[in-house]
């Protein structure tokens, strides 16, 4: 498979990059690791006029513990750089585990954190060759009006497969979104929208420059579990991140975030209420897991069946809650 033709520019600064984004709008794409974009370009689901190589831009390549209480990770930091960062490994072990679970080491050497957050959603009917797609009606994600995953659906149901996103949402992370002359901070939980064709709130002239993790979140107890067909390289069939803030004796604030079963990460609000009311009893954990099943909304049969996705949610919630409830000091690796 060959790449389509495109023009290439390597901006020397983020200002130059944002100016070009403003000028080209949706016709330009940013290339950092390339492990998502170049594949999509080979499949002709992305055919930008201009590709901007932002790999190694100094503004995007720093990990700093800033004075505002955040661990700030540049969007261009590779996943391997995060894996080998000792302080991230000790302060945010679940995030570290999630990053290490992404694809293969080859891909982690190339892929960036910004790219994993902005990972394009995937679908059986979309991530195919052009020849294959041409045999069907044009779907929402390609600019048409059909959804092949759920017939008659008014929106796209392609799946968000990022493994880093659920943990980052559980940790209360924010992203720095920049455009020419402007900067805004967006809570990561508000960054995604439940529409596979437009999975993030990012405008075509915007990009994320950094991810901000509140350092106080390092005192909470985290969990991350990923289930994939093969451990080695696959996208998740389902993953869950949990965070239990420890304030005093009783159960503190609990967060559970599921991903890879819908177009956006799912924050389980009703499920955590069950535990907030009844505590971590065996019966409450069972009830919470059943509640999770009903909190998922309409599911597709993409990659796994809808029934399997509900079952997976139940199992993942149960495992995450048990992991969070285990006594500190116990081996919590699995």
Partner 1 sequence: MEMRIISLTVNDTAYEVAVKPWQTLLEVIRDELGLTGTKRGCEIGTCGVCTVIIDGKAILSCLTLALECEGRSITTIEGISTAESLHPLQKSFIENGAVQCGYCTPGIIMTGKALLDENPDPTDDEIKEALAGTFCRCTGHIKIMEAVKKASHPAGEKE
Report the interface residues with partner 1, using CB under 8 A.
Answer: 1-8, 10, 31, 33-35, 38-39, 42, 51, 53, 55, 80, 103-107, 109-110, 231-233
Q: What proportions of the chain, in percent to the nearest 5, are helix, strand and coil?
A: 35, 20, 45
64 - beta bridge partners? 72
> Smallest gap, in angstroms, from Cβ of residue 41 to partner 1?
8
Taking each helix axis from N to C terminus, what angle separates 282-294 and 269-278, rounded to the nearest 10 degrees? 160
> Smallest gap, in angstroms, from Cβ of residue 164 to partner 1?
18
CB 261 within 8 A of CB 301: no
Phi, psi of 238 (to 5 degrees): -170, 145
Task: Kindly tell me which of 51 and 251 has the beta carbon lying closer to partner 1.
Answer: 51
> Smallest gap, in angstroms, from Cβ of residue 261 to partner 1?
22
> Smallest gap, in angstroms, from Cβ of residue 42 to partner 1?
7
Task: Kindly tell me which of 84 and 182 has the beta carbon lying closer to partner 1.
Answer: 84
User: What is the DSSP code (8-state) at residue 196?
Assistant: T
> Smallest gap, in angstroms, from Cβ of residue 138 to partner 1?
23
Beta strands 221-228 and 236-244 are antiparallel
Task: Kindly tell me which of 31 and 272 has the beta carbon lying closer to partner 1.
Answer: 31
CB 189 within 8 A of CB 258: no
Task: Kindly tell me which of 129 and 305 has the beta carbon lying closer to partner 1.
Answer: 129
Within 10 angstroms of residue 44's Cβ, the number of other Cβ atoms is 17
The residue assigned the tokens 């405008």 is 203
Beta strands 254-259 and 266-267 are antiparallel
> Smallest gap, in angstroms, from Cβ of residue 14 to partner 1?
18
Task: Kindly tell me which of 120 and 314 has the beta carbon lying closer to partner 1.
Answer: 120
> Smallest gap, in angstroms, from Cβ of residue 232 to partner 1?
3
Tokens of 198: 């437009």
Task: Kindly tell me which of 33 and 76 has the beta carbon lying closer to partner 1.
Answer: 33
Q: Is 267 exposed, middle or buried (0-12, 13-18, 19+ CB in 10 A)?
A: middle
The residue assigned the tokens 């100094």 is 58
Tokens of 254: 């609990």
CA-CA distance, 295 to 309, in Å (whole number)? 12
Task: Kindly tell me which of 115 and 166 has the beta carbon lying closer to partner 1.
Answer: 115
Task: Kindly tell me which of 22 and 100 has the beta carbon lying closer to partner 1.
Answer: 100
> Smallest gap, in angstroms, from Cβ of residue 333 to partner 1?
12
HSE at residue 225, side-chain half, CA atoms within 13 A, is 21
Q: Is 245 exposed, middle or buried (0-12, 13-18, 19+ CB in 10 A)?
A: middle
> Smallest gap, in angstroms, from Cβ of residue 106 to partner 1?
4
Task: Kindly tell me which of 232 and 297 has the beta carbon lying closer to partner 1.
Answer: 232
């Amino acid at each position: 498979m060959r790449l389509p033709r495109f023009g290439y520019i390597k901006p020397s600064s983020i200002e130059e990059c944002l100016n070009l984004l403003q000028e080209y709008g949706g016709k330009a794409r940013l290339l950092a690791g390339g492990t998502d974009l170049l594949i999509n370009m080979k499949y002709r689901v992305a055919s930008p006029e201009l590709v901007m190589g932002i790999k190694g831009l100094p503004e995007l390549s720093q990990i700093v513990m800033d004075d505002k209480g955040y661990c700030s990770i540049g969007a261009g930091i590779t996943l391997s750089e995060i894996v080998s960062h000792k302080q991230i490994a000790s302060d945010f072990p679940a995030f570290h585990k999630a990053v290490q679970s992404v694809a293969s080491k080859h891909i982690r050497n190339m892929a960036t954190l910004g790219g994993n957050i902005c990972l394009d959603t995937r679908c059986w009917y979309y991530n195919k060759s052009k020849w294959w797609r041409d045999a069907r009606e044009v779907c929402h994600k390609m600019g048409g009006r059909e959804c092949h995953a759920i017939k008659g659906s008014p929106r796209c149901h392609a799946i968000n497969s990022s493994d880093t996103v659920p943990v980052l949402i559980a940790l209360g992370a924010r992203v720095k979104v920049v455009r020419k002359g402007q900067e805004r901070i967006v809570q990561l939980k508000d960054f995604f929208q439940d529409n596979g064709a437009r999975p993030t709130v990012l405008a075509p002239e915007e990009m994320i420059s950094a991810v901000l993790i509140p350092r106080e979140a390092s005192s909470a107890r985290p969990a991350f579990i990923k289930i994939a067909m093969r451990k080695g390289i696959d996208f998740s069939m389902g993953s869950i991140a949990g965070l239990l803030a420890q304030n005093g004796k009783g159960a503190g604030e609990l967060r559970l975030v599921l991903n890879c079963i819908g177009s956006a990460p799912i924050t389980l609000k009703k499920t955590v209420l069950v535990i907030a009311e009844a505590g971590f009893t065996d019966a409450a954990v069972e009830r919470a897991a059943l509640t999770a099943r009903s909190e998922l909304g309409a599911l597709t049969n993409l990659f796994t069946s809808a029934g399997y996705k509900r079952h997976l949610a139940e199992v993942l919630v149960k495992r995450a809650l048990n992991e969070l409830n285990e006594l500190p000091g116990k081996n919590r690796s699995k």
